[in-house]
Chains A and B, each alone.
Chain A
């Protein structure tokens, strides 16, 4: 006789109900995302367990009714009254059949709607930025989830074994849900532990994975419903509950994977691989191997390697270890986790942050850095303007009243190293962020007290050195100490904002135009002066030449004249005639001459005194023959 499993079903139902409520309360109190999804699985598990428990009760009633009927039939000797097996005489059987026909599909549809809605809302909820908040009391949340895991695991294993051995198909769904919910609780605990031990997104990741799994169970429920419609109804064959998840069943019994794998190997290799000693050894020793692996993992936490350029802070139960609080690069031994923990810091490596406009990765490949082309994420800083007249003039021109300040875009990289590790790690929650704030403050003050022209032009190297010293002094003044040394600050990128830059460039162009005009004028002046000098020299030289000539001519002519007087006196007419004719010959030698010797005085003679522009044929000289 088959024994009743109603009590087991009820225990499963109550366990899942308590676990669902407790996990949901824990998740909401502790802000654990994966635990919220675990509570959702447990909620669905509770409904499934409730349906299966109710179905168990109906089947028990039907069984009791059948026994009673058989007993009566035996005692009355096969009376016709008991041969009629119509539904009217078996109310329990009718109830069970009605339940199977109408209520089970209806419950399955409700479960489907809950799964689809739950998956959709959970996915949306996990996408929202405000969803992820720090987990409160993570160790408590993790520990309680661990306890739920243990409780559900033990009960789930018991129920599952009972369902398998005694073939209680209605106990199987709740047993599977207990097991899968146990594993999900363990996953949620791992997510919380990850957050506590330095993987802040693990809880969110686990929650998303569980949401996907939730969605997959919804798809499986749809498929089950569709397949149930087309399932051939064979008389005498008991149907599997439509609300039972095969997917969760496989996940809840990972040991079945071995059986599945064995069948696959046997089929693939053509002989019984699953009967070899190696396969059997692994099957038997898998838990030991996993335990040994866990032991090795724990042992590996006893050794730590500090990389070059790093130093480690060794803490035992949260306190620095006396005498070896700082670990140099190399191998070190320590107590296993969680007794000893090592926190690594890049003490030797130069760390960098940028003050002002931050480098834009999208513009990193731009080959030319120009003022009028954006090459950083522009951040405007105020700079003073000492030329009040210029500000007033410009305000008058624009018709607006603006303060005597200008704006600049600067981008100063700052390099620093950790000089005191303990101070860096223990004195300030975020020493790097504080250093950045202090350095920015010094730069802002430097710009606010400097003239825009001075900042952009003169003394950059000196300003950089002064700024570095100022930042270091400000850092040293912080109590408790920051433990950092500022090694460099670069002032390479100072320029007006992109929208104003073209006007600054025009000034540079105007300055060049000014120089060009002055230089052109200077060149002209040099030419003018040189030509004037030459002209002056020529005038004087000509005058001097005239003087020389006049002096010489006057002397020689006087001497000549003195010698001519006796000749003239000797023969005045002859001398005069001779002198005249000599002068006549000389004077007319190259002149064109016309001599009129005609005696007829009444003729009119015309002379064409025009110069010939071109030669005519008569002027051509015929070359002589050889």
Chain B
């Protein structure tokens, strides 16, 4: 047999460590512990620090996390009082208030055991409370009633946990998520698309309507402005006509001359560019072309 002193030292040290581990246990600040002797709880809870024990299977130590556990439920579909299907996910804060009772009820110190029971109770209470409230208490621009709903769930749960003496205490409940069932969500998507289509049409046709109005008003304004201008122009023309009329008595002094001069003006004005005139030999002064001698010409 190996009698190396080092082996003996290591063996003794390891044995000591194992013995200490078998007879001593540690409780953290965030924990409490209960000890069972042959599966019977001692009844007292042990706080933070080192404690002695008899080795397994005589005594067993169960450590309980005393901190508040953050529980998150599933997204559960239920109906509101106005027959709308709504999915709600709740969260809750709870802790083990009586470790001995908790151990007796669940046979373990693991929070998962109590959490599983809490989950069932929470689902039941959640559906009951949701059924008492209309959709507008959950989603509304007029203000939701989250606080009231959460309070109702909390109070009911507290009463149930107290009545069953589960050794658990629930401290708060909150709504973590609201959702709609898949089929309803698809319908809401369709409705949102329709709303947007209505809005798009509204914008486009309102734009066309507004543009048409602007154009019509502009045309009206232009026509009115031109009419005003014509009216003003006619008034001016009347003034001009009046000035001409004022000169007529002067022309009346020799009306034959005045008419002759007017005809000459008309002739001058009408025979302008690109005019072709055909004269016969009798038209003055072309009659000179027929006369030949000066005498004949003077005769004419």
Contact B236 A402 (CB under 8 A): no
Indicate if B44 sits at the interface (CB-CB under 8 A).
no
Q: In the complex, which residues of chain A have a beta carbon less than 8 angstroms from the beta carbon of B271?
A: 587-588, 591
Contact A547 B236 (CB under 8 A): yes
- Shortest distance from the beta carbon of B151 to any chain A beta carbon, whole Å: 13
Q: Given A554-B247, A558-B250, do A402 and B184 touch, yes or no (CB 8 Å)?
A: yes
Contact B199 A592 (CB under 8 A): no
Across the interface, A607 reaches (CB within 8 A) one of B10, B27, B278, namely B278
Q: In the complex, which residues of chain B have a beta carbon less than 8 angstroms from the beta carbon of A516?
A: 207
Contact A445 B146 (CB under 8 A): yes
Please, which residue of chain B has its CB at the minimum distance from the CB of A400? B187
Q: In the complex, which residues of chain A have a beta carbon less than 8 angstroms from the beta carbon of B30?
A: 425-426, 429
Q: In the complex, which residues of chain A have a beta carbon less than 8 angstroms from the beta carbon of B198?
A: 390, 393-394, 397
Across the interface, B218 reaches (CB within 8 A) one of A504, A528, A550, namely A528
Contact B210 A514 (CB under 8 A): yes
Indicate if B124 sits at the interface (CB-CB under 8 A).
no
Indicate if A493 sits at the interface (CB-CB under 8 A).
no
- Shortest distance from the beta carbon of A138 to any chain B beta carbon, whole Å: 10
Q: Which of B226-279 contact A (CB under 8 A)?
A: 226, 228-230, 232-234, 236-237, 239-241, 243-244, 246-247, 250-251, 253-254, 257-258, 260-261, 264-265, 267-268, 270-279
Q: Which of B186-239 contact A (CB under 8 A)?
A: 187-204, 206-208, 210-215, 217-219, 221-223, 225-226, 228-230, 232-234, 236-237, 239
Query: Which of B25, B69, B175, B188 has most chain A Cβ within 10 Å?
Result: B188
Mask: chain B, 1-41; 1 = CB below 8 Å from A; 0 = not = 11010110111001101100110011111110000000000
Q: Which of A362-397 contact B (CB under 8 A)?
A: 380-386, 390-391, 393-395, 397
Indicate if A287 sits at the interface (CB-CB under 8 A).
yes
Q: In the complex, which residues of chain B have a beta carbon less than 8 angstroms from the beta carbon of A581?
A: 284-285
Across the interface, B195 reaches (CB within 8 A) one of A391, A450, A521, namely A391
Contact B273 A590 (CB under 8 A): yes
Contact B178 A319 (CB under 8 A): no
Contact B6 A318 (CB under 8 A): no
Q: In the complex, which residues of chain A have a beta carbon less than 8 angstroms from the beta carbon of B279?
A: 593-596
Mask: chain B, 132-145; 1 = CB below 8 Å from A; 0 = not = 00010011111110
Please, which residue of chain A has its CB at the minimum distance from the CB of B250? A558
Indicate if B60 sits at the interface (CB-CB under 8 A).
yes
Contact A513 B196 (CB under 8 A): no
Contact B6 A584 (CB under 8 A): no
- Shortest distance from the beta carbon of A307 to any chain B beta carbon, whole Å: 23
Indicate if A524 sits at the interface (CB-CB under 8 A).
yes
Contact B188 A386 (CB under 8 A): no
Q: Give the total of B residues in contact with A, Cβ under 8 Å.
A: 139
Q: In the complex, which residues of chain B have a beta carbon less than 8 angstroms from the beta carbon of A535?
A: 222, 225-226, 229
Indicate if B91 sits at the interface (CB-CB under 8 A).
yes
Contact A550 B26 (CB under 8 A): no
Indicate if B299 sits at the interface (CB-CB under 8 A).
no
Q: In the complex, which residues of chain A have a beta carbon less than 8 angstroms from the beta carbon of B1?
A: 157-158, 161
Indicate if B49 sits at the interface (CB-CB under 8 A).
yes
Indicate if B177 sits at the interface (CB-CB under 8 A).
yes
Contact A609 B244 (CB under 8 A): no
Indicate if B185 sits at the interface (CB-CB under 8 A).
yes
- Shortest distance from the beta carbon of B68 to any chain A beta carbon, whole Å: 5
Docked Cα-Cα span, A543 to B229, in Å, equals 10
Q: Given A528-B222, A565-B253, A576-B260, do A507 and B55 touch, yes or no (CB 8 Å)?
A: no
Across the interface, A546 reaches (CB within 8 A) one of B172, B221, B236, namely B236
Docked Cα-Cα span, A506 to B196, in Å, equals 8
- Shortest distance from the beta carbon of A298 to any chain B beta carbon, whole Å: 11
Docked Cα-Cα span, A57 to B121, in Å, equals 66
Contact B29 A315 (CB under 8 A): yes
Contact A437 B222 (CB under 8 A): no
Indicate if A406 sits at the interface (CB-CB under 8 A).
yes
Q: Given A137-B56, A391-B191, A531-B222, do A540 and B232 touch, yes or no (CB 8 Å)?
A: yes
Indicate if B131 sits at the interface (CB-CB under 8 A).
no
Indicate if A213 sits at the interface (CB-CB under 8 A).
no
Contact A596 B278 (CB under 8 A): yes
Partner-contacting stretch, out of A3-11, A88-96, A141-149: A141-149
Q: In the complex, which residues of chain B have a beta carbon less than 8 angstroms from the beta carbon of A497?
A: 189
Docked Cα-Cα span, A398 to B259, in Å, equals 87
- Shortest distance from the beta carbon of B37 to any chain A beta carbon, whole Å: 14
Indicate if B176 sits at the interface (CB-CB under 8 A).
yes
Indicate if B48 sits at the interface (CB-CB under 8 A).
yes
Q: Is the interface of B mostly helix, strand, loop or mixed?
A: helix
Q: In the complex, which residues of chain B have a beta carbon less than 8 angstroms from the beta carbon of A528?
A: 215, 218-219, 221-222
Indicate if B104 sits at the interface (CB-CB under 8 A).
no
Q: In the complex, which residues of chain B have a beta carbon less than 8 angstroms from the beta carbon of A543?
A: 232-234, 236-237, 240
Across the interface, B277 reaches (CB within 8 A) one of A434, A533, A593, namely A593
Q: Which of A381-435 contact B (CB under 8 A)?
A: 381-386, 390-391, 393-395, 397-398, 400, 402-407, 425-430, 433-434
Q: In the complex, which residues of chain B have a beta carbon less than 8 angstroms from the beta carbon of A150?
A: 11, 14-15, 18
Q: In the complex, which residues of chain B have a beta carbon less than 8 angstroms from the beta carbon of A441?
A: 91, 146, 174-176
Q: In the complex, which residues of chain B have a beta carbon less than 8 angstroms from the beta carbon of A385?
A: 141
Q: In the complex, which residues of chain A have a beta carbon less than 8 angstroms from the beta carbon of B273?
A: 590-591
Docked Cα-Cα span, A544 to B258, in Å, equals 27
Contact A514 B207 (CB under 8 A): yes
Please, which residue of chain A has its CB at the minimum distance from the CB of B271? A587
Contact A503 B197 (CB under 8 A): yes
Please, which residue of chain A has its CB at the minimum distance from the CB of B205? A514
Contact A496 B192 (CB under 8 A): yes
Indicate if A568 sits at the interface (CB-CB under 8 A).
yes
Q: In the complex, which residues of chain B have a beta carbon less than 8 angstroms from the beta carbon of A434?
A: 68, 70, 91, 93
Indicate if A551 sits at the interface (CB-CB under 8 A).
yes
Across the interface, B240 reaches (CB within 8 A) one of A158, A504, A546, namely A546
Q: In the complex, which residues of chain B have a beta carbon less than 8 angstroms from the beta carbon of A287?
A: 4, 6-7, 10
Q: Given A137-B60, A550-B243, A587-B267, do A561 and B218 touch, yes or no (CB 8 Å)?
A: no
A-B contact pairs, 18 of them (CB 8 A): A150-B14, A150-B18, A315-B29, A318-B48, A384-B141, A437-B72, A441-B91, A445-B146, A510-B200, A517-B207, A532-B223, A532-B225, A543-B232, A555-B247, A562-B250, A577-B284, A583-B267, A587-B270
Besides the known contacts A318-B27, A405-B180, A500-B193, 13 further A-B residue pairs in the complex with CB atoms under 8 A apart = A137-B56, A150-B14, A318-B29, A382-B139, A382-B178, A394-B195, A430-B69, A450-B141, A533-B225, A535-B226, A592-B276, A595-B278, A607-B278
Top-4 shortest CB links A-B = A514-B207, A532-B222, A536-B229, A525-B218
Partner-A contacts on B (CB < 8 A): 1-2, 4, 6-7, 9-11, 14-15, 17-18, 21-22, 25-31, 48-50, 55-56, 60-61, 65, 67-70, 72, 84, 91, 93, 110-111, 135, 138-144, 146, 171-172, 174-180, 184-185, 187-204, 206-208, 210-215, 217-219, 221-223, 225-226, 228-230, 232-234, 236-237, 239-241, 243-244, 246-247, 250-251, 253-254, 257-258, 260-261, 264-265, 267-268, 270-281, 283-286, 289-290
Partner-B contacts on A (CB < 8 A): 134, 137, 139-140, 142-144, 146-147, 150, 154, 157-158, 161, 287-288, 291, 315, 317-320, 338, 380-386, 390-391, 393-395, 397-398, 400, 402-407, 425-430, 433-434, 437-438, 440-441, 444-445, 448-451, 478-480, 496-497, 499-500, 503-504, 506-507, 509-511, 513-518, 520-522, 524-526, 528-529, 531-533, 535-540, 542-544, 546-551, 553-555, 557-558, 561-562, 564-565, 568-569, 576-577, 579-581, 583-584, 586-588, 590-598, 607, 609, 611
